[in-house]
Amino acid sequence: MPEIFPTPTKPTRSGRMAGRILQRRPAYAFILNLVTMDLNADVGEGFPWDEDLMAIVTSGNVCLGGHAGYAELTRFTAIRWREYGRAIGMHPGYPDRDQMGRRSPLPEARLSWESEAIDQTNAFLTVGMREGRSWRYLKPHGALYHDSAKDWTEAGQAVQFMLRESRLPLLGLPGSDHERIAELAKVSFYREGFADRRYRDDGTLVPRTEPNATIESDDEAAEHAVRLALSGRFDSLCLHGDKPGCVERALAVRAALEREGFTIAPFAP
């Protein structure tokens, strides 16, 4: 039987170093510190480094127990991150636990999968409000994110329903159907970039099923994040937290952004 409030994992050496490293900002960064950038990460999926990421990123996309995790972990993660001063977002996904929500449903399963994703948000809306730790935004997970970004009539309708019920802003892919979904739901839209994913020339993400879709080098991810931030086209940059090494990569990205003069702060505090 899982604990309702699991014991937080002890921060790793990387996590303990986070505060010290992030304070080492050159003097010019304070002078040029004119732009704010948010860093977000997927959390509450059962990986052991959520506590370390919490010291680095400013927003947590909290798994709602569909594609990973479980209800008690969702509740614990939401409370823990809010108490730490981080923004928390609802992160519903398809109930595809084998692939962690990264697989689109077959046509005959689409309705049931989308309905279950809606049920996830409904279940945790009342929890967040009752405890005074309100959710700040909604970001679909994995295949639901990408399906809704390219099709506002099917997967997009499910996300639109979630937004109307929750009245939460949508964090999504700029230039995609996410913008239309937010407009139809009459909620704010915030633009997300991916610090550890490669883009095609048309601005879409390289699918994870293709080679070199993800950026594994800390230095390359940091350089990529700076380019995205300097473009002025994004409000938040995502760092995936589902692989070893994600803490070190997040440290490198945040340090690089701060060297460029960015203030790292939630887009939806």
Residue 121: phi and psi, rounded to 5, are: -70, -40
CATH number of the CATH domain containing 170: 3.20.20.370
**pLDDT at residue 104 tops 70:** yes
Per-residue pLDDT band at 203 (split at 50, 70, 90): confident
Q: Which runs of consecutive H residues, i.e. helices, occur in 11-109?
A: 13-22, 27-31, 50-54, 71-83
Residue 5 forms part of a structural domain? no
Lowest-confidence segment of 11-25, 104-118, 138-152, 215-229 by average pLDDT: 11-25
The rounded distance, in Å, linking the Cα atoms of 159 and 163 is: 6
Greatest mean pLDDT among 103-107, 148-152, 242-246, 262-266? 262-266
pLDDT at position 126: 72
Average pLDDT over residues 73-90: 94
Domain presence at residue 73: yes
Q: What percent of the chain has pLDDT over 90?
A: 72
Instruction: For 129-177, write each residue's pLDDT tens digit.
Output: 555 458 999 999 999 999 999 988 889 999 999 999 999 999 999 999 9
Range of the domain at 133: 14-264
Confidence class of residue 13 from pLDDT cuts 50, 70 and 90? low
The domain tally of the chain equals: 1
Reduced to 3 states (helix: H, G, I; strand: E, B; else coil), residue 69 is coil
Is residue 95, in this structure, part of any structural domain at all?
Answer: yes
pLDDT of residue 127: 62
The separation between CA 209 and the C-alpha centre of its own chain, rounded to angstroms, equals 20
Q: What's the whole-model pTM score?
A: 0.86
Write the CB contacts of 36 (distance below 8 Å, at least 6 apart in sequence).
Answer: 262, 263, 264, 265, 267
Q: What is the 3-state secondary structure (H, E, C) of 147-176?
A: HHHHCCCCHHHHHHHHHHHHCCCEEECCCC
Residue 7 domain-assigned (yes or no): no
Cα-only R_g, the chain:
18
Rounded to 5°, the CA angle 68-61-5 comes to 65
Q: Is pLDDT of 238 > 90?
A: yes
Question: What is the sign, positive or negative, of the torsion defined by CA atoms of 158, 160, 165, 170?
Answer: positive
Inside any domain, residue 36: yes
Q: According to the model, what pLDDT value does residue 4 have?
A: 36
Map tokens 């960015």 to a residue. 262
Helix-strand-coil split of the chain, %, nearest 5: 40, 15, 40
Q: Render pLDDT for 176-188 as a digit per residue (tens, 0 to 9).
A: 999 999 999 999 9
Kindly state the average pLDDT of the residues 216-236. Answer: 97
What 3-state DSSP class applies to 252?
A: helix
Residue 53: band (very low, low, confident or very high) from pLDDT cuts 50, 70, 90: very high
CA–CA distance, 227 with 205 (Å, rounded to integer) = 15
Phi-psi region of 186 (alpha: psi -120 to 50; beta: other; left: phi over 0): left
Instruction: Tell me which DSSP letter residue 71 carries.
Output: H
Q: Under a CB-based contact definition with an 8 Å cutoff, are residues 189 and 182 in contact?
A: yes
User: Which residue is listed with tokens 């519903």?
Assistant: 92
Stretch 12-27: mean pLDDT: 48
Give the DSSP H/E element, type plus range, for residue 59.
Answer: strand 59-63
Residue 61 falls inside a structural domain:
yes
Per-residue CA distances from 34 to 29, 38, 90, 234, 262 (Å)? 9, 14, 29, 15, 7
Strand partners, 192: 236
Q: Confidence band (pLDDT; 50, 70, 90) for 234?
A: very high
**Does 269 map to a domain?**
no
Give the Cβ contact number of residue 215 at 10 Å.
20
